[in-house]
Structure 1
Amino acid sequence: MNEHALLHSTVSAILDEHIASARDEAARDGWSSRLWQLLEEAGFTLLSVPEAAGGTGGGLRDLAVVAQACGYLAAPVPLTENVLAGWALAAAGLAVPRGPLTFVSTPSAASAPPASNGAQSHRVTGQLDTVPWARAARSVVLITAVPGTPERTALAVIDPNDCVVLPDANLADEPRDTLLLPPSGVELTPLPADGLIPSSARLRGALARTLLMTGALRRVLDLTVRYAGEREQFGRPIGQFQAVQQQLAALAGAVEQAQAITDLAVEALEQGERANEAIMAAKTCAGQAAAVAIAVGHQVHGAIGFTTEHELHLHTRRLMAWRDEDGSDSDWSAQLGVWAGGAGPDGLWELLTSHPPVGVAR
């Protein structure tokens, strides 16, 4: 058994044993603090964050294994948000505290007026919308542009206890809260010119969301294939009917396609070769696969798949929500089109077949 298979076996064992109670806890509190504690104690919540900054080290492939396992079982914990916050803090040269942490990236934010003594004010004010898991977080890490200097990036570490938290949720009932920042604002720390930038942070967020989506896609496929083999009509399992087999084949093809391009995006970011474009393609492909999974999963399951008692909705509602979070497939498709079109007719072939380290998402 290789290291990634062992990692998958370990995290899956934790999730399998505790997911039922975690879902019950999430139904009451919006998330599972108990499951989070178990994952944190096992060192899974800061994978790929450098040990020197307080993370647990490892590579993106390690993170991919754990994130996909959490997506597969709809684990109600802010795992990827915690890792994104850890990445941002490490890039800023700051220590990463114990979580749970959450992460927000925005091109710009409202800023406080200059100080009365004329000193430049670097404070963010107002509110932050749709903050993932804000009610559960010990700290919210914000990446935004320095007010008045959009080419420079700043970071803020926000204590939710200093804010007013207005609970809200996405389609899957995952916390997506509004934070009303204190009237005095929150201090922004400008980052080095070569540090993490909002566009790169957004791409990392898209990759993290895609990892969760590929796990959920795999679960919808497994549930649907199993149900098609169990449910009988006219004296035989519905999976033996050609029309159902065609739907299952379409679903399996979409899932494998999304998995393949996601694996490629993880490898591209690790190696620093065309990571931006690979991540855009992966999020686009996962969003398109989600449409197939939602349609086929519910068509094959029929009425039972729409009940709250059945597991299917936990995954299809997440796919509905996640396909629009961190950039929708149409958003990223448009950016990919701009990238490809910019090469012109003479440069497109070279653009598609060469592998220089361009557009690297830091």
Structure 2
Amino acid sequence: MAAVTLKDVAERAGVSIKTVSNVVRDAPRVSAATRERVTRAVRELGYRPNPSARRLRTGRGGLIALAVPELTTPYFADLAHHVRTEATALGLTVLIEETLQDPTEELRLATGVGASLLDGVILSPLHVTATELAPVADAFPLVLLGERSYGTERVVADHVLIDNAAAARDATAHLAGLGRTRIAAIGADRKASATSRQRLEGFQLALHGAGLRFDPRLAPPVEEFDRRDGLLAMRALLGLPADVRPDAVFCFSDTLAVGALRAVHEVGLTVPGDIALAGLDGSQEALYSTPSLTTVVPDMSAIASLAVKCLAVRIRSDRPLPFEVHVAPHWLEERESTAGVRRPLEV
């Protein structure tokens, strides 16, 4: 099958080849309506720019990388899908990489894995430090995802995130609003990652706002944000004395919540009758679990769009640009695990 060309896209969109080229290169002075028409034609025809020709013409090949801790986590798999969609609309090709939470690998990928091939990198780091990142971002187009692990220090790269403390506060306040008074948290990790710290902070702020006391016994530490750790942490909570045992639990991820849900089922208790349960991620797993999980949903499309557009601007700029931090929206979706109302799943 012959490769789709700029001419094919132009004919489908009813514009000139030059206009298609401008849209693919994200050039200015293209109307929103025209850009949308061309972008739709690119998607429908499956147009892919020729990286070799582009590199000869512009010095750039249109290849970027997305580096995430692990693709087995539903959140990162979903993120990869959205990043690819946004990149394709801008005429970029995405290479997906796993860092496997290795700080050496995070730093290696942040530099572009050999910048002769990659134009830029979107990185979701867990362990790399600001000191290590600063010279990298100054020399190579880089956008970071997730919480800033370097706290109040200067911004060392473009950064796209959600307000994790606010997200955790929203979920916990929802549980307190149900009249639950012994609210536990699953996700305070032993590595004290920025994400975990900020979600714990939001959890504690919501307790304080509801007039409830934080009990460290109701925040068992975990190693990872996975189903197994959620199961083990909930088992530990269920083993507490009856006057301490939680009547609600906020899990720092949906995968932790799925494991916790299994532990509650094992001992014959009900959700939300005995224990109300909420997660954070907005994953498909939360929608299809039984009962379906109340969860805080990060706007994944906005995260991906902000990250890809930030990177594209930095790649195409011929001068240094100030680094920026972008906060994407989030919202709470109340489902059966706290509402207690069984509804048919709309598909």
| TM-score tier (shorter) | under 0.3
Larger Rg: 2
